[in-house]
Amino acid sequence: MIKKIVLGIVIYKKKILIVRRKVKEGNLFWQFPGGEIESNETEEQAVIRELKEETGLSCKVNKLLGKRVHPHTNREMLYFACNFISGEILISDEDLSEAKWVNIENLNDYFTTDLYEPVKVYINGNK
């Protein structure tokens, strides 16, 4: 069985949280923080854990934005809108080279593919 991937879309003060992988996944370097759901956790617990592990930030789930099979990686993706609670960016995940807040208007400078439409609508609503 293919494991589901959860991604956290975190917007705070007109900035959005993104991470850079050390190794490209398909043609993707920059992406939203996230990862696989572990067998003992819910989807919501997984996205909170992944955000903490990958960026050092504490967040809470707001809502599920949507699910899809990613066109470039063929993995089932679940996109969650999350609220930033506290913390400073600290990368402790060995697969990441960078994590940062970027201005929402500059997101297209980092992403090489079109955003999933429900994510795009959510982001555009927070500009």
**Is 68 in contact with 58 (CB distance < 8 Å)?**
no
The token pair at 79 is 């996109």
38 is catalytic: no
Give the integer Cα–Cα distance in Å for 47 and 60: 9
Catalytic residue among 25, 38, 98, 117, which? Answer: 98
Could you give the residue numbers annotated as active site?
98
